[in-house]
A and B are shown apart, each in its own frame.
Chain A
Amino acid sequence: MSGRSPSAAVRVLSIEEEARRFLRLRATVAWETLGSMFAFARLRLSLVVLLSGLFWASLYGLFLEAFAFLAALHADVVSLLFNAFFSSLMVMLVFSTGILLYGGMYCSTEARLLLTLPVRAETIFGHKFQEALWFSSWGFVLLGSPMLVAYGVEREAAWPYFVLLLPFMIAFVVIPAAVGSMACMLMVAWLPRLRVHALALAATAGTVATAWIGWSTFSPARIDTMSAAWFERTFARLAITEQKLFPSWWLSSGLIEAADLGRGPGGTWAPLLEALKFLALLVANGMLLHLMAGWIARLAYRRGYSQLIGEAPPRRQRPIGWFDQALVNAGSAAGRPLRLLLVKDLRLFRRDISQWSQFLIFFGLLGLYFLNLRSFVYNNVYASMIGFLNLAVVGLILSTFTTRFVYPMISLEGRRFWILGLLPVHRDQIVWSKFLFSFVGGVIPCSALVLLSDWMLGLRTPLLLVHEFCCVVLCLGLAGIAVGLGARMPELRESSPAKISSGFGGTLCLVISSLFIMLVVIIAALPTHLFLLTHALGPTAVASQGLLTWAAGAGGMAFSLGLVALLGLAATAIPLSMGLRAFRQLEP
Chain B
Amino acid sequence: MIEFDHVTRTYATKTAVADLSLAIPRGELFALLGPNGAGKTTTIRMLVGLLRPSRGAVRVCGYDVVKDPRHAHLHIGYVPDEPCLYDKLTGREFLWFIADMFGMPRHLAGQRIDREIEHFELGEFADDLAESYSLGMKQRLVFAASLLHDPDVLVLDEPMVGLDPRSVRIVKDLLQQRTREGMTVFMSTHTLAMAEEMADRIGIMVRSQLRFLGTVTELREQMALESTSLEQLYLRLTSPLAGRETEP
Contact = CB atoms under 8 A, between A and B. Distances in A.
Interface residues of B, number: 49
A11 B52 contact: no
Contact of A29 (B78, B88, B100, B103): B88
Nearest to A117: B101
B88 A118 contact: no
B104 A9 contact: yes
Given A4-B61, A10-B103, A306 B50 contact: yes
Nearest to A311: B11
A10 B75 CA distance: 9
A115 B69 CA distance: 9
Interface string A299-311: 0001101100111
B16 to A, nearest CB: 8
Contacts of A305: 50
Nearest to B69: A302
A50 B75 CA distance: 51
Report the interface size class on chain A.
Answer: 35 or more
B48 A306 contact: no
Given A9-B108, A112-B80, A116-B48, A3 B101 contact: no
Contact of B73 (A7, A9, A118, A303): A118
A7 B52 CA distance: 26
A12 B103 contact: yes
B73 A309 contact: no
A120 interface: yes
A13 B103 contact: yes
B63 interface: yes
A310 B11 contact: yes
A21 B101 contact: yes
A36 B132 CA distance: 12
B49 A115 contact: yes
A6 interface: yes
A117 B72 CA distance: 9
Given A28-B93, A118-B70, A36 B129 contact: yes
B86 A118 contact: no
B51 A109 contact: no
Residue of A109, A117, A311, A312 with most partner-chain B CB within 10 A: A117
Interface string A1-33: 111101101111100011001001100110011
Contacts of B100: 21, 24
A325 to B, nearest CB: 30
A7 B104 CA distance: 10
B89 A29 contact: yes
A9 B110 CA distance: 12
A117 B142 CA distance: 13
A25 B97 contact: yes
Given A1-B71, A36-B88, 20 more contacts: A3-B63, A6-B61, A13-B103, A24-B97, A25-B89, A28-B89, A33-B88, A109-B82, A112-B84, A113-B84, A116-B73, A116-B80, A117-B73, A118-B71, A118-B74, A119-B101, A302-B66, A310-B9, A310-B11, A312-B11
Interface of B: 9, 11-14, 45, 48-52, 59-63, 66, 68-76, 78, 80, 82, 84, 86, 88-90, 93, 97-98, 100-105, 108, 112, 129, 149-150, 152
16 contacts: A3-B60, A3-B61, A3-B63, A6-B61, A9-B102, A10-B103, A12-B103, A13-B103, A21-B101, A25-B97, A29-B88, A36-B129, A116-B49, A118-B101, A311-B11, A311-B12
